[in-house]
Amino acid sequence: MWFNQLKTIVFLATLTGMLMLIGGLFGGTQGVITSFIMALFMNGISYFYSDKIVLNMYRAKVLDKSRYGFIYDMVQDIANKANIPMPKLWLVDTPMANAFATGRDPKNASVAVTSGILGLLDQRELRGVLAHEISHIQNRDILIGTIAATIAGAIGFLANMAQRMAFWSSMSNNDRDRRNNPSVISLFLVSILMPIAATLVRLAISRSREYLADEHGAELSHDPLALASALEKLNAHIADAHLKENNGMQVATSHLFIVYPFLPKGFTALFSTHPSLQKRVAHLRKIYQDMQIGDQR
């Protein structure tokens, strides 16, 4: 678990370094501060209202306690073990089998499950999924994701300004030979490559938090194989459903779900918000083996 925490720290430090670099190239300290404030404002709105926004997007309804009392019991038990308040529970009426957690902190958290996942998983597997989502809440992954998005957004803003600056600098130069000025070319290249690199680092942070939620969720449920089985079923469901990335809403919120709602292939796998299924399942099985050894001691 400590390794994934360390990776998050390293990735966030990398993003910060990238922001300072491109800010220094373009506008110095003032450029960094300006872009950071703008990105902070935009992502601050998302941070405080993201739960309401995403739940409204999916037309989520409060989970019926009279019908799904066993889910309330599961979540209450796991929340007690995680030492956090009971989150609000929601149902999203869609055949897509998935689940997600949202909310800016444990006191304002929600867990949503889809009707598809309730029909696909047994109670043991569902408990593993719920433990994973509660781990996201306990580890404040929404906050960490917002910080990463803020820095990446600031980098994108500076890169856009740098690109415009490089373009107008080359166009306003009367001497054609000076259009190949290395500083202008370098600025233009940095403005293109830096946002791509920032996006990849932000996605790496997302993947590291998924690993951490798998680990912590397995500890809370004390049943890593249940989560592994659930992930395999969910992934198979996505493959069978032939889901395509033509749903803008699902693309925009894909980082929230326990499994990536599409099948990344080839180069697109680099831009996935989740680790590969094979790696997650193998990691969970390793956790199970370690638990077995620990129980025998």
Q: Residues 200, 206, 210, 215: is their CA dihedral positive or negative?
A: positive
Tell me if 125 is assigned to a ligand binding site: no
For residue 278, count CB atoms less than 10 angstroms from its CB and return exposed for 0-12, middle for 13-18, buried for 19 or more. Answer: exposed
CB neighbours of 267 closer than 8 A, spacing ≥ 6? none
CB–CB of 132/219 below 8 Å? no
**Rounded to 5 degrees, what angle do the CA atoms 288, 136, 38 make?**
145
Cα end-to-end span (Å), the chain: 21
- Calpha distance 24→290 (Å, rounded): 47
Tell me if 255 is assigned to a ligand binding site: no
222: alpha, beta or left? (left if phi > 0; alpha if psi -120 to 50): left
Active site residue 215: no
Choose the catalytic residue: 125, 133, 215, 232: 133
Tell me if 136 is assigned to a ligand binding site: yes
CB–CB of 102/134 below 8 Å? no
> What are residue 111's DSSP bridge partners?
89, 101
- Calpha distance 183→25 (Å, rounded): 10
Which residues define the annotated binding site? Answer: 132, 136, 210
Which residues define the annotated binding site for Zn(2+)? Answer: 132, 136, 210
Q: Hey, which residues are catalytic here?
A: 133
